[in-house]
Amino acid sequence: MIGLVMAGGKSLRMGADKGLLVNKSGEIWAKSAWNKLNSCGIRSFVGLHLEQTSHYSAHISPENIILDLPEIHAAGPIKGILSAHINYPKEDLLVLACDMPNMGISCLKELMEFQKNNAESLAWVYQNGAQIEPMCAIYSAQGLAQIANLVEKNELTKTSLISILDGLQAAIKPVSEDNTKYFLNCNSPDQIN
């Protein structure tokens, strides 16, 4: 398994690249998320668009960056996830969005344990109340190969991660009441605590 920080979004509502926002410790959000994934004992990467690389180079070394591949004809986060899959086709991916700055390492490790105990699934994801959390999830290499094949044949009709998780019949782990604080997704300046 490898870790993938999703930092390649457009950040339109935030008005600035969310991965480059700085936390109270003086670290950019993408690097903080990357450190959390590495703390789980897995090699981790930050997923970016090509035009972001110069801004991230002061914080993340090039060998820890996976760029979106132009040959993947899919929009949204699935492009970054499939880019990582093509680079590491035999590895399951533990995906974490950079804009979940409160995520706890314990939550990530719980999801990894959940995967071990539900090994027959093709994806593993948290559900926070009624909300599925596709940007804190594990996607299996086998499931991603199926999705990549659909994209290649131009047969993936719905590219939202919720639809993809549904298609992979993901195992769902409810978020405990104590852990809901970890799932704050910051999309606009007023959500930063």
Q: Specify the pLDDT at position 9.
A: 58
Burial pattern 123-153, b for ≥16 Cβ within 10 A else e, equals: bbbbebeeebbbbbbbbbbebbbebbebbee
CB of 168 closer than 8 Å to CB of 146: yes
Compute the average pLDDT of residues 18-37. 85
- Write down the domain spans for the chain: 2-191
CB of 94 closer than 8 Å to CB of 40: yes
At 39, list the tokens.
Answer: 């703390």
CA-closest candidate to residue 8, choices 103, 84, 80? 80
Give the model confidence (pLDDT) of 147-186 as tens digits: 999 999 989 888 899 999 999 999 999 999 999 988 876 4
Q: Is domain 2-191 annotated with CATH 3.90.550.10?
A: yes
Angle between helical axes of 105-117 and 29-38 (0-180°, round to 10): 50
Compute the average pLDDT of residues 127-147. 96
CB of 132 closer than 8 Å to CB of 162: yes
pLDDT surpassing 80 at residue 192: no
Helix, strand or coil, per DSSP, at residue 139: strand
Residues whose CB is less than 8 angstroms from the CB of residue 44 and which lie 6 or more positions away in sequence, other chains included: 2, 3, 4, 5, 34, 37, 38, 64
Give the model confidence (pLDDT) of 36-82 as tens digits: 999 999 999 999 988 888 889 889 999 999 999 999 988 889 999 99
Across the chain, what does the average pLDDT equal? 89
pTM, rounded to two decimals: 0.91
